[in-house]
Structure 1
């Protein structure tokens, strides 16, 4: 539990710093104003560039491929995780998936599916003993509604102590980390 708490704090700090950048806020507002959809890859690239120069990150890997356990996954052999982030002075990396959707419900649902997908990774294929985290970017919704979306999932129970959602100042977006 201590590692989960530390990982949540570290990733929350990274997300807060990332979404405070003026150019990121400006672009998020432009996407909304111009009704641009499907900018998840842009978000991942911008986040990667941010991580490369972050003083508390020693290494990142993008699109790390893992073999899936064929007993649990009949349709696919491999999956890719968006990021493996190694914090300075830590031995193992934190796996992180990033999702973006113009609908909060869909964003949370896709985040939860990614957690389910990661649980199908073969034990011998993993290089980290850390839990997968998902960072989702979606329109801001009421806290009660967001909690309901997370708790409606059918995959597994999500511990509310390891979930954070924060409004991105200057936008109509929030980020959720679970």
Structure 2
């Protein structure tokens, strides 16, 4: 997945996560991107157990290829999430915050757009692998799905699903609320 949004201030943070139990913030397994004291970017994991205390810690999903960047006033989180086989949608939560204090994200605003930063993200469904065209035809590969969707399902038998093309679009739509 890739989530891009401008933080609430240049010293702020951005977050994206999956809530496996409900639609709101409590229960979310989040990745939060923030600047370190030397100006480099880092991503930390947070299991959001309550509204009162946000503590860094392990999350219930395996994530890999985690990184972040800051460019043009936007922060971007990149990660690959290992989801249960046949997952077709997830509850997503996203947020931006104004500051980082002692390496921890400060509380975000509670404006209506902040409180409404949740939604369902529909993932790709099973697609057929590309099929070689017969000789003498127009050539190339063809399948019943767009190339991005066919590429996404190369992991169909694996217990991991990459949210890349359509997932990225959903995340970009979500980030537009803070633009």
**TM-score, reference length from structure 1:** 0.27
Relative to total residues, which structure has the larger helix share, 1 or 2? 1
**TM-score, reference length from structure 2:** 0.27
Relative to total residues, which structure has the larger strand share, 1 or 2? 2
Which of 1 and 2 has higher RCO (CA within 8 Å, sep 6+)?
2
Larger radius of gyration: 2
